[in-house]
Amino acid sequence: MEVIKQVDIIREQINALRCSGKRIGFVPTMGALHEGHLQLLRASAQENDITVCSIFVNPTQFNNPDDYKLYPRTMEQDIELLSSVGCDILFAPGAEDMYAQQSLLQFSFGALEAVMEAAHRPGHFNGVATIVSKLFHIVQPHRAYFGQKDLQQVVVVKQLVQALSFNVELVCYPTVREADGLAMSSRNKRLSPVHRQTSVALHEALQQAKQKLLQQQPVVSIQAEAMSYLQSKNEVEVEYFEIVDADTLQPLESVQQGQEIAICIAAFVGPVRLIDNILVNLNEV
């Protein structure tokens, strides 16, 4: 595997690969890789001639400076993992490479800006859109791979691709979980042993809500019961627990047979903010 840090060098490499007819798969990450990332990388390696992974902890998508500072950085371990799953190129730029000049662009995603992650992390998706746009221009992938755990990010990137006519196919894979159901996340590395045990309550609340939806219980009571369950757990502070349309991510007051629904949660477990979601198809009734 080749490790490239300079933008001009990876552009030159990618141009040569595309000119020779190679299909490029791309997995953008912020490092601290886990099985969720590796699933995407294996899929890319199977479906494309060349797989590129980027590792860049993007400062513009953090609205909390402490969160940016504490985000785990495990480059040596990440390189070993990438080599083991058939990654061909690691693009690992520095902030001075990606933001040689301060970005003044402002993206707006309409109704998506008023819900869940966007509502609680002002400017987050502007930072996401900026870095994804930069990476798509630099890497020029045929396919780009994302995980369902960051569902709102996936919907935002879909809108970005459509609005700016990026010639890239987006591929979304289901969330990879630990044996007890906790969604794999780079932030899990920051959980203490006690908080790690407590964190499984997020997945339990999602599963309980799913069963109640399938039993056609009212949305408002499902949300209230989920909040009560989570508030009963020590050191769990819920930011949101939303039942939304899976395509638009807009909150639902009621649901209908055959509707595709997402149940989404964000909560602090101790000092660590975690997000998760599950999809529910009411045809399962």
Is 176 labeled as ligand-binding?
yes
Q: Give CA torsion, residues 170, 72, 53, 246, to 10 deg.
A: -10
Is 120 labeled as ligand-binding?
no
Is 143 labeled as ligand-binding?
no
* Contact of 251 with 184, CB cutoff 8 Å: no
Q: Of 37, 124, 195, 203, which one is the catalytic site residue?
A: 37
Say whether pTM exceeds 0.85.
yes
In angstroms, the CA 253 to CA 176 distance is 29
Token output for 16: 């040569």
120: annotated active-site residue: no
Is 215 labeled as ligand-binding?
no
Domains of the chain: 2-173 (3.40.50.620), 186-280 (3.30.1300.10)
Summarised one tens digit per residue, pLDDT across range 119-172 is 999 999 999 999 999 999 999 999 999 999 999 999 999 999 999 999 999 999
Is 276 labeled as ligand-binding?
no
Summarised one tens digit per residue, pLDDT across range 48-104 is 999 999 999 999 999 888 899 999 999 999 999 999 999 999 999 999 999 988 878
* Contact of 272 with 242, CB cutoff 8 Å: no
85: phi then psi, degrees, rounded to nearest 5: -115, 15
Is 140 labeled as ligand-binding?
no
What b/e readout covers 232-262, taking b as 16+ CB neighbours within 10 angstroms?
Answer: ebeebebbbbbbbebeebebbeebeeebebb
215: phi then psi, degrees, rounded to nearest 5: -85, 5
